[in-house]
Amino acid sequence: MSAYEPIIARLLSLHPKRIDLSLDRIQRLLDKLGHPERRLPPVIHVAGTNGKGSTIAFMRAVLEAAGRSVHVYTSPHLVRFNERFRLGAPGGGQLVTDETLAAVLEECERANGAEPITVFEIETAAAFLLFSRHPADVTLLEVGLGGRLDATNVIEKPLACAIAPVSMDHLEFLGDTIEKIAAEKAAILKRGVPAAVAPQSDAVLTVIENEAKRVRAPLRVCGEHWSVHGERGRLVYQDDDGLLDLALPKLIGRHQIDNAGTAIAALRAAGLALPLAAFEAGIARAEWPARMQRLTQGRLKALAPPESELWLDGGHNADGARAVAAALGDIEERVPRPLVLIVGMLATKDSAGFLSNFAGLARRVIAVPVPRQDKTIPAETLVDIARGVGIPAESRDTLEAALAAVVRLDLAPAPRILITGSLYLAGEVLALNGTPPV
């Protein structure tokens, strides 16, 4: 057992793992800790529904290629809690050690005492303490949920902000319309702080622009102030600062070109003088686990049919599925294979909206429960939903049994298998496969 695991278990028992959006508790705790959030290296704050993590991965890769040291705070983790905290260091950062994480969590717990708090707020305070005590050039900070009342939104004057694509998700916390959700995300904008805005629907963009006008935040909007596209096997980015002709991302999918563009726009908005070589190397090098990640080795890969492809994506909402389906369609054009989906989802998600993106593309869905998640959709229910959108489906109890079912399909050529529907499921896959993030 890792040094921090008993502490996390204790925190969860004392402060149930509920989402209760508020800034009061985190502000009280940070006051007791001496306000470490005011001593961070310059912050780039990132909100959005899909693509936040990938955008941060691109920014980190570019900054590190330029020789900058970068702290990174993201959530959720896939396999180990440490993944949420990356400490910057010359030559590239590393995940916080078990012992260091345990010590800082205990320090935050002691400072909080018996006051009410959520576990996310404790861990956010821990990230601020860690980052304030270790020198770095930049801090990349991902919003946990929403923006307005997210614990990360105590940063008063970030260097820059970015808003990744906004879509319908977490309706029970953020609102039941796209405009309400966009308003929550746009609330990370601060007076005088420049912000890069990813491709958005007209409704979302209107909300963001109105909030930017209200707080006087200068925007760099995709399609107005910058553009990005793939052309002849290259990524072409252009804004008022000039044109960049770069290698395509290693990360798969057209949506990753947009995420890379958002990352470049945010770095330029931040005023960081970065050489062309850093953009070239960073965009091509960036990695982000469980985002159209191809698994080429490991225990689960060995259980898949010989010669098959095994892919993993943690997408869990309709827009995320749309991006993944488009990426799979592009791959299918180059190398045709029958597509089989192994899907597990939580009951809080729009599973019909998610799966409908794969109708006409997937040969079959094999539904599984998401392990250790009380809110998992029963596999048989997911089968009915898949059939309802026109995809043949069956259920299995485990990932291993699902892969055995794919073998028995005896497809020719060997299939392309995508495991998807939940970041929690993606974490289970990486743990079972023996390929956790590092």
Residues 197, 86: one domain?
yes
Looking at per-residue pLDDT, the higher value among 9 and 302 belongs to 302
How confident is the model over 223-254, as pLDDT tens digits? 999 999 999 999 999 999 999 999 999 999 99
CATH number of residue 422's parent domain? 3.90.190.20
> What gap in Å lies between CA 107 and CA 29, rounded to an integer?
11
- Helices 254-269 and 318-334 cross at an angle (nearest 10°) of 120
Whether residue 297 is found in the same domain as residue 280? no
- Please give the Cα distance from 124 to 80 (Å, whole number): 16
pLDDT for 351-391, tens place per residue? 999 999 999 999 999 999 999 999 999 999 999 999 999 99
Q: How confident is the model at residue 168 (pLDDT cuts 50, 70, 90)?
A: confident
The predicted pLDDT at position 16 comes to: 65
Q: In this model, does residue 39 exceed pLDDT 70?
A: yes
Q: State the residue range of the domain holding 112.
A: 5-285
Average pLDDT over residues 189-204: 98
pLDDT tens digits, one per residue of 287-329: 999 999 999 999 999 999 999 999 999 999 999 999 999 999 9
Per-residue pLDDT for 17 more than 70?
A: no
Cα distance between residue 110 and residue 59, in whole Å: 34
Q: Is residue 180 part of a domain?
A: yes
The secondary structure of the chain in percent helix, strand, coil, rounded to multiples of 5, reads 45, 15, 40
Residues near 398 by beta carbon (within 8 Å), at least 6 away in sequence: 368
Position 438 in a domain? no
Residues 11 and 66 occupy one common structural domain: yes
pLDDT of residue 414: 97
Residue 201 has pLDDT above 80, yes or no: yes
Residue 413, preceding peptide bond in cis (omega within 30° of 0)? yes
What's the total number of domains in the chain? 2
CATH of the domain at 216: 3.40.1190.10
Average pLDDT over residues 18-47: 94
Are residues 172 and 24 part of one domain?
Answer: yes
Residues 323 and 259 in one domain: no
My answer on whether 218 and 333 are in the same domain is no
pLDDT at 21 over 90: no
Shared domain for 144 and 228, answered yes or no, is yes
Residue 356 CB contacts under 8 Å (≥ 6 apart), including other chains: 318, 389
The last residue of one of the domains, among 229, 258, 285, is 285
- Grade residue 169 by pLDDT with cuts at 50, 70 and 90: confident
Return the ∠ at Cα 353 (arms to 326 and 324), rounded to 5°.
Answer: 20
Q: Are residues 217 and 237 in the same domain?
A: yes
- Say yes or no: 227 and 369 in one domain: no
Among the candidates 247, 262, 285, a domain finishes at 285
**170 has a pLDDT exceeding 80:** no
Mean pLDDT of the chain: 95
341 and 410 share one domain: yes
Distance CA 89, CA 136 (A): 7
Return d(Cα 250, Cα 317) in angstroms, integer. 23
**pLDDT of 427 over the 80 cut:** yes
Task: Render 390-422 in DSSP notation, one character per residue.
Answer: T--EEE-SSHHHHHHHHHHH--SSPPEEEEES-
The whole-number pLDDT of residue 301 equals 97
Residues 188 and 312 in one domain: no
Give the end of a domain, one of 253, 285, 317: 285
Q: What is the pLDDT of residues 66-85, one digit of tens each?
A: 999 999 999 999 999 999 99
Bridge-based pairing state of the strands 416-420 and 339-343: parallel
In contact, 373 and 413? CB cutoff 8 Å: no
- pLDDT above 80: residue 18: no
Q: What is the pLDDT of residues 108-124, one digit of tens each?
A: 999 999 999 999 999 99
**Closest Cα to residue 317, out of 346, 287, 359?**
346
Residue 131 burial (CB count, 10 A): 25
The CA-atom distances, in angstroms, between 413 and each of 119, 292, 298, 323 are 47, 21, 22, 25
Higher pLDDT, 88 or 10: 88
Copy the structure tokens of residue 271.
Answer: 């005023």
| Cis peptide upstream of residue 76 (ω within 30 degrees of 0) | yes
The answer, yes or no, to whether residue 1 has pLDDT greater than 80, is no
Q: What is the pLDDT of residues 382-420, one digit of tens each?
A: 999 999 999 999 999 999 999 999 999 999 999 999 999
Tell me the pLDDT band of 2, cut-offs 50, 70 and 90.
confident
Same-domain check for residues 317 and 239: no
